[in-house]
Structure 1
């Protein structure tokens, strides 16, 4: 199979993404009806634009809803900080649903927004944060998954085609190491959360039911031919082969944007939300936004790339909020009128919303988008229950940091022993959960 050509620097092709359904949302559930009024606090993870772009949102929203005052609170370690706050009733009026909350606990913390049947007519992927037919959050944007890279560095290494297998990807990184001064791959180990991005690529397998038939229902998800064995195996090999930064404990997320933009870093695995941030960092450093490319994960099924689309963080309403109508008005306005998703290079959360030009590289590579099917009724919390029982933070970074430590020789073990331990813990958890 011939390798797909890497897009030339500066090339851009618009993405066309078709979603099913049209029309408006259903009636708001009890508790969010009424005339929006009062003062609300919106909690965000966007520390970089909370004092700039979000202030423009505030002005536009308050002009439309003069009886509402919006205040913002930003958190750097969002998952950690919000989890602590949610031990109280004081966690804002609108917040992003943290990944640590299991579906069967949604109603404990968040106000229901309406039914999946009704809200799916207007918003994409509402089933991702739904339980027993009720939706609890609306995506701030919709992402796909892949690798952001510096096209100039890859071209300098003589690489003309996209890698279609993990082995080809490793060969390309080795070429970058040997022929350029760039760090071939950057783990962002120290910040931790970027390592969680590796779990968001299950759609690579080309099967929308993969999570419902393999991941949670397999005793060996770290086997060579299963998704976590493929993805975590590639991360392990990248580090073990000396193709990542020399000391991962000193990485810095904000700095990494500039380093990739200027070509000191060649590649990072991140959701498509990162494209515009890397482009902006390149321009701020005197380079060109056109130097930044986005490639699919190096794996094909039947000679074709696949990429998962999924919702980003979901805006939700604190069940204890005293101004739920105002909070609901903000969530709808943010999804429908703020242009946040488009401006950030994301896919619109609206069924009939605009699509970005930032994913032109995927279009050129013929990537097929995969929307993962939700868990069957009654099984919504099964995978998260196995995750909790196994104490493997599948959606986080702790075990992947351990993986990096083993791969670089800073901890005992090897890939085979570590993956065997993970499989053993996962199988025992499945047996316990039933």
Structure 2
């Protein structure tokens, strides 16, 4: 079940733990971390997780057992949160947000030192890890990703083939035509499922920024623009496609009744044609197909329907980054868990994701992208001193690119529930963004 354990990282954990203990002793929250006389971790550890499925099926218990083979004096407990982003965001108003947690998207880089313990210098950690700079500030890393993801569209290969769609769409128009063909072939199938009610799945559309123009510096340039929703920009193309598929009746009839867990089996059973989700979802959908008896090969993965000079591009980056609560009383054990989880647990490989380790393998789940020659695109980090600029503009403008609200607004308008037009929404988003830039001096 698990790959051969890698021991090299753990040789350094004792030294790292000593450093963390010193940091913990002089931090603003909590007491000194608990250790044995030899400096090894001991005590209780609470780990918050968004993977409630792995908690329920016993996988995390198995992780804890294996961790205890290395650290027998640490008691690890897990708390699964269904609405992870929302619940953690609320709990961070207190000091009670676990010892180890995944960094939620609404925490801006300049806030990292207020909530999390620094894990080390980015340049030093990058000798082993990748995808670190998204959760870094002033040269310090505050989170280490558990897995790397790319972005795309999971789809039921049988549904698409039976509708006569055998080639990946290369433009938004071709994608809409493909969904129309699915609906024409079987009106009972939902061509594209938004998962509107759960909210967070709509944030997955944001993962395609940078791909449309094959521009790794897109986000930094967006922070210098007063009109990101102008024809030809990444956001215009992405959100126009969302508008079009909803407006043309190619999504679920009542988006307010969608159900994330149920959507997995619906896709597996051919009741749904496709969903816009990161590559982390592929294995979950394949497992659902296995459970349904349709087979893992029923699930395929498409790049966003847009090409630059005849080539598909897909953004790549870290998933949730594990961080240490600044107020934790047991930072030594917390750091030991993060190091062990990322190098020994086999989580990334078991979940079909890109390894956060530089030497990690490419997962079999991305064979479709490999066959299509998809080029991976990693966004350029913000320049020094401007790590929080984009997040500050996003927050001040109240657009919320990493929240579901504004795309729920697009869905509502496109289905005729609000009376707004696409142009009106885009003009309003541009106006808010420009005002946010002016307010923060962007």
TM-score normalised to the size of structure 1? Answer: 0.92
Structure-2 residue corresponding to 1:401:
408
Equivalent residues in 2 for 1:414-425 (5 A)?
414-425=421-432
3-state DSSP class of the match of 1:48? Answer: helix
Equivalent residues in 2 for 1:18-417 (5 A)?
28=16, 30-32=19-21, 34-51=39-56, 52-180=58-186, 181-204=188-211, 205-213=213-221, 215-417=222-424
Closer, same or farther: CA 409–336 of 1 in aligned 2, 3 Å: same
- Greater helix content: 2
Structure-1 residue corresponding to 2:27:
none
**What residue ranges of structure 2 are gaps of 5+ in the alignment?**
1-8, 23-38
- Give the Cα–Cα distance (whole angstroms) in 2 for the partners of residues 28 and 61 of structure 1: 17
> Does the CA contact (< 8 Å) of 2:20 and 2:335 recur in 1?
no
> Does the CA contact (< 8 Å) of 2:210 and 2:217 recur in 1?
no
3-state DSSP class of the match of 2:55? Answer: coil
- Greater shift, 344-353 or 30-39, is seen at 30-39
> Does the CA contact (< 8 Å) of 1:25 and 1:120 recur in 2?
no
Deviations 1:141-169 (A, max 9, x none): 00000000000000001012110000110
- Give the Cα–Cα distance (whole angstroms) in 2 for the partners of residues 338 and 201 of structure 1: 29
> Does the CA contact (< 8 Å) of 1:334 and 1:340 recur in 2?
yes
After TM superposition, give the deviation of residue 202 of structure 1 in Å: 1.7
- Give the Cα–Cα distance (whole angstroms) in 1 for the partners of residues 69 and 301 of structure 2: 37
- Give the Cα–Cα distance (whole angstroms) in 2 for the partners of residues 82 and 175 of structure 1: 41
Closer, same or farther: CA 417–113 of 1 in aligned 2, 3 Å: same
> Does the CA contact (< 8 Å) of 2:210 and 2:234 recur in 1?
no
3-state DSSP class of the match of 1:217? Answer: coil
- Give the Cα–Cα distance (whole angstroms) in 1 for the partners of residues 176 and 126 of structure 2: 40
Deviations 1:39-58 (A, max 9, x none): 10000011111131101100
After TM superposition, give the deviation of residue 203 of structure 1 in Å: 3.4
After TM superposition, give the deviation of residue 260 of structure 1 in Å: 0.4
> Does the CA contact (< 8 Å) of 1:28 and 1:114 recur in 2?
no
After TM superposition, give the deviation of residue 35 of structure 1 in Å: 2.0
3-state DSSP class of the match of 1:42? Answer: strand
- Give the Cα–Cα distance (whole angstroms) in 1 for the partners of residues 12 and 274 of structure 2: 40
Deviations 1:396-429 (A, max 9, x none): 1011111100000000111111111111111111
> Does the CA contact (< 8 Å) of 1:25 and 1:122 recur in 2?
no
After TM superposition, give the deviation of residue 32 of structure 1 in Å: 4.2
Segments of 4+ moved more than 6 angstroms: 24-27
User: Matched residue pairs, number?
Assistant: 411
> Does the CA contact (< 8 Å) of 1:304 and 1:368 recur in 2?
yes
After TM superposition, give the deviation of residue 289 of structure 1 in Å: 0.8
- Give the Cα–Cα distance (whole angstroms) in 2 for the partners of residues 160 and 154 of structure 1: 7
